[in-house]
Amino acid sequence: MPLVEVSHLVKHFHRGTRLFSAGTLVKAVDDVSFSIEEGETFGLVGESGSGKTTMGRCILRLVEPTSGDVRFRGENVLAFSKPRLRATRRQMQIVFQDPYSSLNPRMRARQIVEEPLIIHGLGNRTTRRERVAELFRLVGLDPAHLDRYPHQFSGGQRQRIGLARAIALNPSFVILDEPVSSLDVSVQAQVVNLLMDLQQQLKLTYLFIAHDLRLVEHICNRVAVMYLGKIVELAPTQALFAAPQHPYTRALLSAIPVVDPDAPRQRITLDPALVNRDAVLREISPQHFAAV
């Protein structure tokens, strides 16, 4: 049984506008289905604004999906009562994309990381203090800075506070929404190594949302590509990078910047006319699906 199973997930937003048009409907997530196996790192990449963050939030019910199904260990998360949902959240965590707006500016770093432990009634003051310091060290932050407020950290340091908070409860499933995007490559390597270590020790499962395709290639087992609210390609990582099928995936892979000022740039620009928006995912080769 997959750990997480998403079927026909839909999320629409209504945007009321005053000036140029009447209200519009945004199909942020438009009939998406996929499943994630236990212990897997599932990559989610795609165009900015294609619905990746919205989908992550729907899975945890931080926003209510318009329709569709989300199953966690076979049980329908969308049917959970409030208390049941709260209990399940202990196992499902998220590291938010924008560390600045997701960390409460009036709380000290210590309180931010400790809060989930308090909410779930874990440990006593002393053991919680120790755990918080340990988490701080794990993500490469100096426990001497535990009493600082979020604005007193750099962008990359804030990102790691969010990560420490998310792993505080030893969850089994973590949604990582651009978790290392503001880190330099060396600290990024440390955090990614930490994520891989934790995965091995705790059998963690990750949904890894990222724009850094080199990193995705390095750590993900399978990758899904989103474009305009839909998954347009899904494949084992190697297959996707070796033989991308969808025109958007091809454009995406061709645009990865290389660390060589003289490398010839052979960017493929996406011709939207090439995208058949009615195509559904079909299996092109074993385990490799594309909407072409």
Partner 1 sequence: MKNTDPVLAVEHLTTVFDLSTGPAPAVDAVSFQIRAGETLGLVGESGSGKSVTALSIMRLVEPPGRITGGRVRFKGRDLLALAESEMREVRGADIALIFQEPMTALNPVFTIGDQIAETLVVHGRSTWRAAMVHAVELLEAVRIPDAPSHLNDYPHQLSGGMRQRVLIAMALACKPSLVIADEPTTALDVTIQAQILDLLREMKSAFNLSLLFITHDLGVIAETADRVAIMYAGRIVEEGPVRSILRDPKHPYTRGLLASIPGGVPGERLRAIEGSVPALGALPPGCAFNPRCPDRFEPCTSAPPPEYPVDPNHGARCYLYDPGTSHRPSLSELRPGSPERQRREGGQPPATTRR
Ligand X SMILES: Nc1ncnc2c1ncn2[C@@H]1O[C@H](COP(=O)(O)OP(=O)(O)OP(=O)(O)O)[C@@H](O)[C@H]1O
Q: What are 211's two structure tokens?
A: 């724009």
Residues 6+ apart with CB under 8 A from 148: 108, 109
Helix runs in the chain, H state only: 52-59, 82-89, 99-102, 109-119, 125-138, 155-167, 185-202, 213-219, 237-242, 247-254
Q: How far is the CB of 269 from partner 1 (least distance, A)?
A: 8
- The residue within the footprint of partner 1, chosen from 36, 45, 112, 234 (CB under 8 A), is 45
Which one, 162 or 239, has the nearer CB to Mg ion? 162
For residue 50, give the nearest of 277, 288, 285, 282 by alpha carbon. Answer: 277
Residues within window 57-96 making contact with partner 1, judged by CB under 8 A? none
Number of H helices, E strands in the chain: 10, 12
Count CA atoms within 13 Å of residue 195 on its CB side: 27
Q: How far is the CB of 286 from ligand X (least distance, A)?
A: 28
Distance of CA 144 to the CA centre of its chain: 29
Q: How far is the CB of 74 from partner 1 (least distance, A)?
A: 26
- The residue within the footprint of partner 1, chosen from 155, 280, 283, 285 (CB under 8 A), is 155
The residue length of the chain stands at: 292
**Residue 221 touches which of Mg ion, ligand X, partner 1, none (Cβ within 5-8 Å per kind):** partner 1
Which one, 79 or 185, has the nearer CB to partner 1? 185
Residues within window 83-142 making contact with Mg ion, judged by CB under 5 A? 97
Binding positions for ligand X, rule: CB under 6 A: 13, 15, 26, 28, 46, 48-54, 97, 151-157, 182
User: 230-236 and 24-36: which strand pairing?
Assistant: unpaired
Strand, coil or helix: 189: helix
Q: Which stretch binds partner 1 (CB under 8 A): 1-9, 58-66, 113-121, 149-157?
A: 149-157
Q: How far is the CB of 181 from partner 1 (least distance, A)?
A: 4
Which one, 49 or 272, has the nearer CB to ligand X? 49
Q: What are 166's two structure tokens?
A: 């998310």
- The residue within the footprint of partner 1, chosen from 142, 276, 277, 279 (CB under 8 A), is 142
The reply to whether 19 sits near partner 1 by the rule CB under 8 A is: yes
Q: What are 81's two structure tokens?
A: 């009562």
The reply to whether 49 sits near Mg ion by the rule CB under 5 A is: no
Residues 6+ apart with CB under 8 A from 280: 291
The reply to whether 12 sits near partner 1 by the rule CB under 8 A is: no
**Footprint of partner 1 on this chain (CB under 8 A)?**
13, 15-21, 24, 45-49, 53, 97-101, 140, 142, 144-145, 153-157, 178, 181-190, 192-193, 196, 200, 211-215, 217-219, 221, 237-238, 248, 251-252, 255-263, 265, 267, 270
